[in-house]
Amino acid sequence: MFSLNKKAPNSLPLIGVGLRHTHFEDAINSPANIDFIEVHAENFFAKGGVSHAVLTDISQHYKISLHATSLGLGSALPAPQKQLEQLSNLIARYQPILVSDHACFSWAESQGLDVHAGDLLPVPFNDESLNIMVSNVKRAQAQLGRQILVENLSAYIELPGSTYSEAEFLVKLCQQSGCKLLVDLNNLIVNAINQPLVTLMAKQSDSSAHNNVLALAKQWLENIPSSLVGEIHLAGCTQVDAQQLMIDDHSQPVSDDVWSLYHFALEKFGPVATLIEWDEDLPSWATLIAEADKARAIAKHVFTNSYLTTDEESTSDKTPEEGEIREY
């Protein structure tokens, strides 16, 4: 059944791009029509030097979002205080509009040492890991003096012991810690594609597989209340053959599946700040900005036109207030 959604928020989402070293000069010399820049916090953990000089310049042109990749919020071994202090100093220095990290573990003990994986490692979705992550998120928010966003992972291993779905787990995390979610739509697609292999089942090769991927991703989003979503990440990655795990390498333009899912997500969540991530095989600055323009065009289409939706339920959990622009 089709329904005409006449609800149109009076603002569009903030649209930004992830900034990597290659584009520093372009970002300063060719200011783009974007609302914010997102940088990896750890790239600016040095006390001084050229990286801060560049980010200071960039912060004159754009709002900054700090995306951390190292806290390991799901680690049973908590992050050292020094690490939180460094992130806190960075926040004080650049006053970012958003601060985020991931629903993963990174710290663990090995050979009697506190070791950092340098990666985003998956956790099982159960009460034990929920309690750990809630405690770590609360500690981080107390140290940083602000709410953080926690991003869903692309995971290549499924650790045994889950009693919740990922979406259920993340909703509980938000409810118990007061954080919000950074929903990475490409991670949802990657996980949906990889699920049969990660769960050690035979990978589906029939024609329904593709439809199932989008359906799985949409189902995931359906389980997230709009009020809990603070940012959306969009990315593309290298395609792989059947029987191979897809790796979320952020090396390609945003895929058609992700654009389709973005349209769906905006309809459901409202005008949520949106970021284009591109980390490998970086394109020109103009190409990167064109991806942001594409996101803005979709948002305009969703929020400034009356549009037809095939799924009336998709906006059913949204209150009038939630449809308005969020402030960050």
**How many CB atoms neighbour CB 133 within 10 A?**
28
Say whether residue 31 binds other proteins (CB under 8 A): no
200: contact with other proteins by CB under 8 A = yes
Strand 15-18 to strand 36-40: parallel, antiparallel, or no bridges (unpaired)?
A: parallel
What's the closest the beta carbon of residue 223 comes to other proteins, in angstroms?
23
* Backbone torsions φ then ψ of 309, nearest 5 degrees: -125, 140
Residue 152 engages other proteins in binding (rule: CB under 8 A): no
Is residue 202 involved in binding other proteins (CB under 8 A)? Answer: no
Distances, alpha carbon 48 to alpha carbons 54, 81, 94, in Å: 11, 20, 14
Contact call for residue 46 and other proteins (CB under 8 A)? yes
Residue with token string 């997102």: 38
Judged by CB under 8 A, the residue of 26, 135, 139, 159 near other proteins is 159
Choosing from 75, 186, 255, 314, the residue that interacts with other proteins (CB under 8 A) is: 75
Closest CA to 239 of 223, 227, 255: 255
Of 28, 76, 216, 282, which one interacts with other proteins (CB under 8 A)?
Answer: 76
Task: Give the count of residues interacting with other proteins (CB under 8 A).
Answer: 50
Site for other proteins contains 160 (CB under 8 A): yes
Annotate 54-107 with DSSP letters as a single string: HHHHHHHHSEEEEE-----TT-SSPPPHHHHHHHHHHHHHH--SEEEEESSEEE
Render 167-235 in DSSP notation, one character per residue: HHHHHHHHHHH--EEEEEHHHHHHHHHHHHHHTTSPPP-STHHHHHHHHHHHHHHHTS-GGGEEEEEE-
**C-beta separation of 13 from 271 below 8 A:** yes
Which of 26, 52, 135, 317 binds other proteins (CB under 8 A)? It is: 52
Query: Judged by CB under 8 A, which of 1, 2, 29, 50 binds other proteins?
Result: 50
Residues of span 101-130 touching other proteins by CB under 8 A: 105-111, 113-119, 121, 123-124, 128-129
Q: Given the complex with other proteins, which of 156 and 307 has the nearer CB atom? A: 156
Tokens representing residue 175 in the block: 């409810």
Q: Which residues contact 99 (CB under 8 A, 6 or more apart)?
A: 41, 65, 66, 68, 87, 91, 144, 146, 148, 149
- Told to check if 209 binds other proteins by CB under 8 A, we report no
Binding mask 239-278 for other proteins (x = CB under 8 A): -----xx-x-------------------------------
Min dist CB 245 to other proteins, Å, is: 5
In the window 77-106, what residues touch other proteins (CB under 8 A)? Answer: 77, 79-80, 83, 86, 105-106
Report the interface residues with other proteins, using CB under 8 A: 42, 45-50, 52-53, 70, 75-77, 79-80, 83, 86, 105-111, 113-119, 121, 123-124, 128-129, 132, 155-161, 197-198, 200, 244-245, 247
